[in-house]
């Protein structure tokens, strides 16, 4: 165990792509955590998805030993955090395990929306913050200007900001010295009952649940009986260790330290991130304050493509949830797509990542419905319901009014794209609150209905600005909206998975677009197929797929009937994926394709 | 539960000759090019395999023999003669027996037609394919339109019954062009013609060309129009379709092919030949080894080159009865269905599906049996899928 005064716990925070993970690489290298041979770029981004997309999704903790210029050796616990707004739950949990933060700003880009948001999270967590100007090797770097921005926009003193290049390694020792000198050491008592914060957890097929903990008081050692305070479950610790970044077992963790434990925990639900771990025989009185529960803002339904995989999906969701407590899931039943789950996420990227992780880490083929937000529906009998699934929409005669969530969004964009971005906001029913200039770029603050944002807003923003606009938002309030539920009917029968709640002004266009798209996707049948978009009983769009005109193999196969029969048998296997609508059968794949196209 | 199936007293016999002079780029039949075919060995092997199936089938009245290919007109006429004699030896020949030879319309083969007639062949089916030299070149045929017409004339001289095949729905083919070609062809017919829409099959050069985008077939509306035109023009000429692609004047239908469509018993001998033979109360599906050389050696060593011989499950029999029977204009006869499937027509299908197809005027279902309407036949693959899938 390390003396408290020689421990520094810090998170690396920044806007997406400003170089957090690359700086972590240099710090690991400088402190000899990995050999030259073991090193590669963004070594902490170990998930396949992180490597493919070049972004951090999960925060990672590393223990490094640094011999400082003052002659002492410090134990540094570094947490590399994700930069994207959808993963800010990872950031806030990481902040709770540390006393300080390195705020990285790309000196060629300057302060971006997420720099601001994360800096405020760190300030609210009571952190000491060391600003770091990265990428000074780039010709476009303007460290002086960026220092001014930091002071102007965030209000932090940037006079002692460290200038570095995480790429070339310039200034790395300055960062290490600054954090040893400027960040506070943790506080805590070694000889009191154990009190540790469960910061993160994941499932390992061999070890069971692995829990990342920050010891506040007391110590945790191998063989000790511990208790999870929220679930009141006791376990015997069988491993204690740290990541250097290799998983390294040690005997015990003391106050101020961050490390992992395993305790042969198989029941995933027993381990809740934010819980307090204490000693089974000498428990502390009160748990730590834990984490604010995450508030999902975007919902969609997930169905297994193969109905038989429903139980697999349930189990996989539980395991993934251990590693990402910020998404929510509840069972759901759809006539078109079978049994599945209604899931809530912190944003669209989060939704996409969870789907991808389920597909890859658990080998599941999934179907996802279009994203929706939470509406507050006020009924004529005076009661209200929160609704995020269009299929739970009550009868319109029972509805007095509907409120929808609005966000306050900050968009930072180079001047030349401002006009187009303002137009986009206006088209999405946005209201301008503020428009200011920060070092040559515009910062537009808008109020926007969230349901306009979940529908391809981010993609549009990026394409309009050629990737230069950055965007951050927070939920602000609920406001009354003229919202309607649009249903899609096939030969008169509703396709529940395609229902959507939209603003009346857009209902016709969206309904028509979906009908047109389905018309392309529904194969011609023996009978004609009517595709309609309706609001209540009123048809707002209609398309028809004509009956097929010819479908017969005319070539003769002589006596080889087997071949034709085998073809039929294949079709029979495919029939499981068909759904009956009136007198026609529509392949489930048509609905899936319609849902997928929604992504674009 | 299905009842046991009574063994019918008739049998049709298919004989496969796997060799061709050259391979056509659309063809996925069991056809091979070989310049050293030992005719004596092949003849002996065909006779041995025939003997094997004669034992399996037991005593029967043979209603038809069909020499198909490949290009059976490249067989030595003696071989055909020997096979026909052996059939007569093993079985009883129906007095109206139909013995068809598939023939390619090259001048060499035309010259042999008389010898085949002498061997006992009483009907030929010529692979004319097109009456247009450019189309023939596109189809990779080695004969010209003129040679093809001469072959038809020779066949007309030599045989009382003959037919020929055409392939339509070629790239760029218009309804008008096809109508003219068809009318020209009608003038050469004697009561029977087969017209096939070009089908691109996996494993053929056309498949590759289509995948690369070098071969573009007419699109769906044109295909439908071509099909409808064919029905109309040939019906007007007194040869309505008695099967999806086969048209005949009354009484001129090909008896051998009817055996397939009515799902009677047939024995298939030669490489890759298929058969359906009833034995011990079950209908068996048989298939001979496809590769000519292996087939030959197996027959020489074991007396036959059977690769599969397995009893069909009742639902497979139902599927096959429907697959074949609905291709016929007259459809499936209720009594024949019962005899072959061991269950009644009404028991075999989902009543809701039947009713939906009837309401859509795609099928007619009554106590006589089940048949597809013209509109149903034009969409038969989907109708069959709805019924049996
Ligand atoms: N030229 C230059 N490029 C850098 C420097 N630091 C990082 N980069 C590059 O910037 C890109 C993003 O770096 P990352 O380290 O993945 O950024 P990050 O902040 O961890 O990104 P997220 O975790 O997704 O928020 C990569 O292509 C790096 O190679 C630097 O000092 N100079
Ligand atoms: C067994 S084949 C061959 C007969 C003979 N060897 C010949 O080529 O004339 C019988 C007929 O099937 C038709 N056929 C073969 N392949 C076809 C294809 N891919 N599409 C449509 N018809 C085809 C041709 O009309 C051919 O005449
Ligand atoms: S179409 Fe006839 S000639 Fe051409 S390869 Fe096929 S069987 Fe042989
Ligand atoms: Mg990163």
Give B107's contacts (C-beta < 8 A, 6+ positions apart). B143, B147, B150, B151
Q: Is B212 left (phi over 0), alpha (psi -120 to 50) or beta?
A: alpha
Provide the ipTM. 0.89
Q: At what angle do helices B292-302 and B39-57 cross, to 10 degrees?
A: 60
- Long-range contact list for A355-360, CB < 8 A, 24+ apart? A355/A302, A356/A49, A357/A47, A357/A49, A357/A320, A357/A324, A358/A302, A358/A313, A358/A316, A358/A317, A358/A320, A360/A48, A360/A49
DSSP H/E element including A324 = none
A257, with CB counted inside 10 A (0-12, 13-18, 19+), is buried
pLDDT in tens, A262-295: 998 887 778 888 999 999 999 999 899 888 888 8
Residues A111 and A253 in one domain: no
In this predicted structure, the answer to whether residue A212 has a pLDDT above a threshold of 70 is yes
Write the CA distances from A162 to A32, A74, A95, A147, integer angstroms: 22, 20, 21, 10
For ligand 1, is residue A114 a contact (CB within 6 Å)? no
Residues A414 and A498 in one domain: no
How many Å apart are CA B215 and CA B169, to the nearest integer?
Answer: 12
Residues A474 and A489 in one domain: no
Torsion of CA B21, B26, B30, B32, to 10 degrees: 30
How many Å apart are CA A393 and CA A492, to the nearest integer?
Answer: 19
Nearest CA to ligand 2 atom 6: B71
In this predicted structure, the answer to whether residue A97 has a pLDDT above a threshold of 50 is yes
Cβ <8 Å between B378 and A562? no
In this predicted structure, the answer to whether residue A593 has a pLDDT above a threshold of 80 is no
A100-106 vs A7-14, strand pairing mode: parallel
For ligand 1, is residue A53 a contact (CB within 6 Å)? no
What's the token pair of residue A57?
A: 């999704």
With an 8 Å Cβ cutoff, is B316 touching chain A? yes
- The CATH number for A31's domain is 3.40.50.300
* A564: nearest CA partner in chain B: B323
What's the token pair of residue B147?
A: 């040679």
Flag whether A423 is in a domain. yes
**CATH number for the domain running over B314-389:** 1.10.10.920
Flag whether A267 is in a domain. yes
Flag whether A432 is in a domain. yes
Residues A363 and A268 in one domain: no
* Chain A residues within an 8 Å CB radius of B323: 561, 564-565, 568
HEC assignment per residue over chain B? CCCCCCCCCEEEEEEEECECCCCCCCCCCCCECCCCCCHHHHHHHHHHHHHHHHHHHCCCEEEEEEEEECCHHHCCHHHHHHHHHHHHHHCEEEEEEEEEEEECCCHHHHHHHHHHHHHCCCEEEEEEECCCHHHHHHCCCCCCHHHHHHHHHHHHHHCCEEEEEEEECCCCCCHHHHHHHHHHHHCCCCCEEEEEECCCCCCCHHHHHHHHCCCCCCCHHHHHHHHHHHHHHHHHCCCCEEECCEEECCCCCCHHHHHHHCCCCEEEECCCCEEEEEECCEEEEEEECCCHHHHHHHHHHHCCCEEEEEECCHHHHHHHHHHHHCCECCCEEHHHHHHHHCCCHHHHCCHHHHHHHHHCCCEEEECCEEEECHHHHHCHHHHHHHHHC
Residues A42 and A80 in one domain: yes
Chains A & B: contacts with CB separation below 8 Å: 98
pLDDT in tens, A445-498: 999 999 888 877 888 888 899 888 888 888 889 999 999 999 999 999 888 888
Residues A321 and A213 in one domain: no
**CATH C-level class of B10-259:** alpha beta
Cβ <8 Å between A555 and B356? no
Flag whether A600 is in a domain. no
pTM: 0.69
∠A13-A17-A22 over CA atoms, to 5°? 75
Cβ <8 Å between B386 and A568? no
With an 8 Å Cβ cutoff, is A566 touching chain B? no
What's the token pair of residue B389?
A: 């899938």
- Whether A24 and A80 have beta carbons less than 8 Å apart is answered as yes
Cis ω before B208 (30° cut-off from 0): no
For ligand 2, is residue B198 a contact (CB within 6 Å)? yes
Q: For residue A591, what pLDDT is reported? A: 79
How many Å apart are CA A456 and CA B66, to the nearest integer?
Answer: 65
- The CATH number for A423's domain is 3.30.70.240
pLDDT in tens, A292-342: 888 888 899 999 988 889 999 999 999 899 889 899 999 998 877 889 999
- Whether A368 and A302 have beta carbons less than 8 Å apart is answered as yes
Position A596 confidence tier, pLDDT thresholds 50, 70, 90: low
Residues A16 and A48 in one domain: yes
Residues A344 and A304 in one domain: yes
For ligand 1, is residue A143 a contact (CB within 6 Å)? no
Flag whether A67 is in a domain. yes
Give B136's contacts (C-beta < 8 A, 6+ positions apart). B129, B130, B143, B144, B145, B148
Rounded to a whole number, what is the distance in Å from the CA of B154 to chain A's nearest CA?
25
- Nearest-CB residue to A568 (from B260, B276, B385): B385
Residues A160 and A235 in one domain: no
- The CATH number for A234's domain is 2.40.30.10
In this predicted structure, the answer to whether residue A204 has a pLDDT above a threshold of 90 is no
Q: Give chain A's mean pLDDT.
A: 90
For ligand 2, is residue B109 a contact (CB within 6 Å)? no
Q: For residue A315, what pLDDT is reported? A: 92
* Chain A residues within an 8 Å CB radius of B377: 552
Residues A48 and A144 in one domain: yes
Residues A8 and A83 in one domain: yes
How many Å apart are CA A83 and CA A77, to the nearest integer?
Answer: 19
B123-129 vs B161-168, strand pairing mode: parallel
Last residue within a domain, chosen from A335, A355, A371:
A371
Domain count across chain A: 5
Q: For residue A299, what pLDDT is reported? A: 92
With an 8 Å Cβ cutoff, is B268 touching chain A? yes
**CA dihedral sign, ordered A225, A228, A229, A232:** negative
**A213 lies in which domain range?**
195-279
HEC assignment per residue over A94-111? HHHCCCEEEEEEECCCCC
Q: For residue A599, what pLDDT is reported? A: 43
Domain segments of chain B: what residues?
10-259, 314-389
Nearest CA to ligand 1 atom 9: A19
* Chain B residues within an 8 Å CB radius of A553: 199, 244, 381
Residues of chain B with pLDDT under 70: 1-2
Cβ <8 Å between B266 and A559? yes
With an 8 Å Cβ cutoff, is B37 touching chain A? no
Q: For residue A214, what pLDDT is reported? A: 97
For ligand 2, is residue B71 a contact (CB within 6 Å)? yes
What's the token pair of residue B54?
A: 């004669």
In this predicted structure, the answer to whether residue A600 has a pLDDT above a threshold of 80 is no
With an 8 Å Cβ cutoff, is A36 touching chain B? no
The reply to whether B10-259 and B314-389 are identical in fold is: no
In this predicted structure, the answer to whether residue A499 has a pLDDT above a threshold of 60 is yes
How many Å apart are CA B315 and CA B322, to the nearest integer?
Answer: 11
- Whether B353 and B346 have beta carbons less than 8 Å apart is answered as no
With an 8 Å Cβ cutoff, is B207 touching chain A? no
Residues A317 and A421 in one domain: no
Last residue within a domain, chosen from A356, A371, A386:
A371
For ligand 1, is residue A136 a contact (CB within 6 Å)? no
Question: Separation of A243 CA from ligand 4 center, angstroms?
Answer: 17
Mean pLDDT of A194-203: 93
How many Å apart are CA A387 and CA A191, to the nearest integer?
Answer: 50
Last residue within a domain, chosen from A121, A147, A182:
A182
What's the token pair of residue A597?
A: 């196209």
* Chain B residues within an 8 Å CB radius of A548: 220, 379, 382
Mean pLDDT of A560-565: 91
């Amino acid at each position: 165990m390390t003396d408290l005064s020689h421990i520094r716990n810090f998170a690396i925070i920044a806007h997406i792509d400003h170089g957090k993970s690359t700086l972590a690489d240099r710090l690991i290298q400088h402190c000899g955590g990995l050999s030259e041979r073991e090193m590669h770029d963004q070594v902490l981004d170990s998930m396949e998805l992180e490597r493919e997309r070049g972004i951090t999704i999960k925060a990672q903790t590393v223990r490094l030993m640094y011999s400082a210029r003052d002659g002492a050796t410090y134990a540094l616990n570094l947490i590399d955090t994700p930069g994207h707004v959808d993963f800010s739950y990872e950031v806030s949990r990481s902040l709770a395990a540390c006393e300080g933060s390195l705020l990285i700003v790309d000196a060629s880009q300057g302060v971006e929306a997420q720099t601001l948001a994360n800096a405020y999270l760190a300030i609210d967590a009571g952190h000491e913050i060391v600003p770091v100007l990265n990428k000074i090797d780039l010709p476009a770097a303007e460290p002086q200007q960026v220092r001014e921005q930091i002071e102007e926009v965030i209000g932090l003193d940037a006079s002692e900001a460290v200038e570095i290049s995480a790429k070339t390694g310039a200034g790395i020792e300055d960062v290490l010295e600054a954090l040893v000198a400027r960040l506070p050491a943790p506080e805590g008592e070694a000889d009191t009952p154990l009190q540790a914060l469960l910061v993160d957890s994941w499932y390992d097929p061999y070890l069971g649940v692995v829990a990342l903990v920050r010891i506040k008081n007391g110590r945790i050692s191998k063989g000790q009986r511990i208790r999870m305070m929220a679930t009141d479950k006791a376990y015997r610790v069988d491993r204690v260790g740290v990541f250097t970044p290799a998983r390294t077992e040690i005997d015990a963790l003391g106050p101020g330290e961050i490390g992992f434990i395993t305790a042969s925990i198989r029941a995933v639900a027993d381990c809740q991130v934010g819980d307090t771990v204490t000693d089974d025989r000498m428990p502390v009185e009160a748990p730590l304050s834990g984490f604010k529960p995450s508030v999902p803002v975007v919902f969609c339904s997930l169905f297994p493509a193969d109905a038989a995989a429903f139980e697999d999906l349930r189990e996989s969701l539980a395991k993934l949830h251990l590693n990402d407590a910020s998404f929510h899931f509840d069972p759901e039943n759809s006539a078109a797509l079978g049994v599945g789950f209604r899931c809530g996420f912190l944003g669209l990227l989060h939704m996409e990542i969870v789907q991808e992780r389920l597909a890859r880490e658990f080998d599941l083929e999934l179907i996802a419905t279009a994203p929706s937000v939470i509406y507050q529906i006020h009924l004529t009998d005076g009661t209200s319901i929160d609704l995020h699934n269009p299929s739970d929409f009550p009868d319109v005669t029972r509805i007095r009014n509907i409120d929808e969530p609005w966000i306050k969004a900050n968009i930072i964009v180079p001047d030349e794209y401002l006009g187009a971005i303002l137009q986009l906001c206006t088209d999405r029913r946005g209201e301008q609150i503020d428009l200011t200039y920060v070092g040559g770029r515009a910062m537009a603050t808008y109020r926007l209905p969230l349901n306009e944002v979940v529908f391809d807003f981010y993609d549009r923003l990026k394409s309009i600005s050629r990737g230069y606009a950055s965007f951050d938002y927070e939920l602000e309030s609920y406001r009354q909206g003229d919202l309607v539920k649009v249903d899609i009917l096939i030969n008169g029968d509703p396709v529940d998975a395609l229902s959507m709640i939209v603003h009346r002004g857009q209902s016709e266009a969206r309904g028509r677009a979906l009908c047109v798209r389905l018309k392309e996707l529904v194969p011609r049948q023996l009978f004609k197929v009517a595709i309609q978009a309706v609001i209540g009983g009123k048809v707002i769009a209609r398309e028809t797929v004509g009956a097929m005109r010819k479908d017969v193999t005319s070539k003769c196969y002589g006596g080889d009937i087997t071949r034709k029969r085998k073809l039929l048998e294949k079709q029979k296997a495919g029939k499981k994926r068909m759904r009956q609508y009136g007198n026609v059968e529509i392949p489930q794949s048509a609905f899936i394709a319609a849902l997928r196209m929604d992504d674009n | 539960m299905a009842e046991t199936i009574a063994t019918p007293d008739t049998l049709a016999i298919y004989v496969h000759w796997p060799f061709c002079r050259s391979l056509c780029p659309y063809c996925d039949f069991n056809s091979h090019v070989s310049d050293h075919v030992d005719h004596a060995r092949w003849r002996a092997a065909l006779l041995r395999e025939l003997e094997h199936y004669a034992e399996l089938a037991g005593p029967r009245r043979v209603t038809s023999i069909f020499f198909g290919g490949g290009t059976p007109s490249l067989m030595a006429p003696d071989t055909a003669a020997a096979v026909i004699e052996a059939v007569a030896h093993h079985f009883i020949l129906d007095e109206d027996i139909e013995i068809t030879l598939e023939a390619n319309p090259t001048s060499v083969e035309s010259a042999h037609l008389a010898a085949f007639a002498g061997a006992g062949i009483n009907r030929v089916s010529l692979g004319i394919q097109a009456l247009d030299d450019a189309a023939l070149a596109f189809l990779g045929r080695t004969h010209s339109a003129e040679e093809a017409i001469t072959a038809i004339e020779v066949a007309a001289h030599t045989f009382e019954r003959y037919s020929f095949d055409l392939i339509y729905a070629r790239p760029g083919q218009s309804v008008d062009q096809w109508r003219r070609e068809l009318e020209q062809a009608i003038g050469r017919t004697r009561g029977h013609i087969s017209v096939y829409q070009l089908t691109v099959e996996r494993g053929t050069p056309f498949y590759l060309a289509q995948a690369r985008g070098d071969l573009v077939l007419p699109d769906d509306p044109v295909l439908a129009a071509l099909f409808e035109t064919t029905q109309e023009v040939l019906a007007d000429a007194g040869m309505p379709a008695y099967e999806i692609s086969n048209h005949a004047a009354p009484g001129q239908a090909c008896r051998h092919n009817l055996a397939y469509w009515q799902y009677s018993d047939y024995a298939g001998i030669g490489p890759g030949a298929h058969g359906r033979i009833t034995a011990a109360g079950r209908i068996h599906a048989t298939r001979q080894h496809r590769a000519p050389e292996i087939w030959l050696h197996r027959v020489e060593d074991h007396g036959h080159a059977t690769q599969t011989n397995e009893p069909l499950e009742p639902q497979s029999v139902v599927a096959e009865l429907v697959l074949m029977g609905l291709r016929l204009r007259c459809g499936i006869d209720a009594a024949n269905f019962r005899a072959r499937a061991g269950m009644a027509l009404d028991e075999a299908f989902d009543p809701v599906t039947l009713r939906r197809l009837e309401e859509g005027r795609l099928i007619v279902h009554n106590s006589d049996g089940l048949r597809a309407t013209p509109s149903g036949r034009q969409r038969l693959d989907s109708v069959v899928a709805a019924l049996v899938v």
